[in-house]
Amino acid sequence: MTKTEMNTNNKTQDFKLYSSRAIGLATFLGGPLAAGYLIGENYKVIDKPTEGRNSLVLGIVFTVLLFGALFMIPENTIDKIPKQLIPLLYTGIILGIVEWKQGDMLKAHKENNNPFFSGWRAAGVGFVSLLVLVIGIFGYAFLSSDNEIYEKYDTELAQFSKNEKESLVFYDNLETKNNSSLLKELDEKTIPKWKANLEIIKKTNQLNNLPPDLVEQNNILLKYSELRIQAFELFRKSIYEDTDKYEEQLEQIHIQIEKELEKLN
């Protein structure tokens, strides 16, 4: 065989590639993301940019699917799985894909004594991929935790709003019910609901890592609830004593209530 013929058959002589072993190492360290990148780099070297991009995209997709599936598995089940098993499984699958898609090319590259990138370089890619995954997982965990706090908070505030709505019916009843009925409503419904609202706010204040905006809102709601209790207790006193001497005081309390409500809007 002439030198020209050898050069024709040796299509990758001027390039460095990542070997199957290097890709396997990077995959074990950094998951399918690292594999997609390295397989894609091999494709780019042989002037197949479309396949290269597709490899990276598939690596990203498989990574998302893999960790999405892992997050869905109950923690007690995950704890029973040997730590090395999952990386070994997806590394084995990736090596099978490499052999299927690039096996002949890599074999010919090796037989022709063409250069490969070092395992250290591939390991570096694996570690970078691992870093990206760790950042992504922590980011997901942080956002999930944040969303969970808001969900818990909203659940409690739904009850707060329900209590508020039901208690404010008292103002409509002032014109239609007798004093005895109003006193009963205040004692059994209106005032207890606002005391319950105070407890709701105190409970939400105990949520771990409560965001600053909710802390600020709780401070306003706490003051608002205390003012509502003051107003209704003063209403009770006024009705019980059958007097209007507390009207000015009630008016001042309601002005303060309006100010707190404005802060919430």
Query: Could you give the count of Cα atoms lying within 13 Å of 45 in the half-sphere of its Cβ?
Result: 21
Q: Tell me how crowded residue 163 is: count the other CB atoms within 10 A of its CB.
A: 21
Q: pLDDT tens string for the chain (265 positions)?
A: 444 444 556 778 888 999 999 999 999 999 999 999 999 999 999 999 999 999 999 999 999 898 888 777 776 787 788 878 888 999 999 999 999 999 999 999 999 999 999 999 999 999 999 888 888 777 665 655 557 788 888 888 999 999 999 999 999 998 899 999 999 999 999 999 999 999 999 999 988 878 888 899 999 999 999 999 999 999 999 999 999 999 999 999 999 999 999 988 7
The confidence score (pLDDT) of residue 9 equals 66
Which residue pairs, CB below 8 angstroms and at least 24 apart, start in 197-202?
Answer: 197/160, 197/163, 197/164, 197/221, 197/225, 197/228, 198/222, 198/225, 198/226, 198/229, 200/156, 200/157, 200/159, 200/160, 200/163, 201/160, 201/225
* Partners of 90 in the β-ladder: none
The confidence score (pLDDT) of residue 256 equals 95
pTM of this prediction? 0.53
What dihedral do alpha carbons 104, 107, 113, 117 form, nearest 10°? 100
What residues does each domain of the chain span?
3-142, 168-264
Question: For residue 149, what are the contacts with CB-CB under 8 A and spacing of at least 6?
Answer: 207, 208, 209, 210, 211, 214
Q: Which residue has the tokens 């498989």?
A: 62
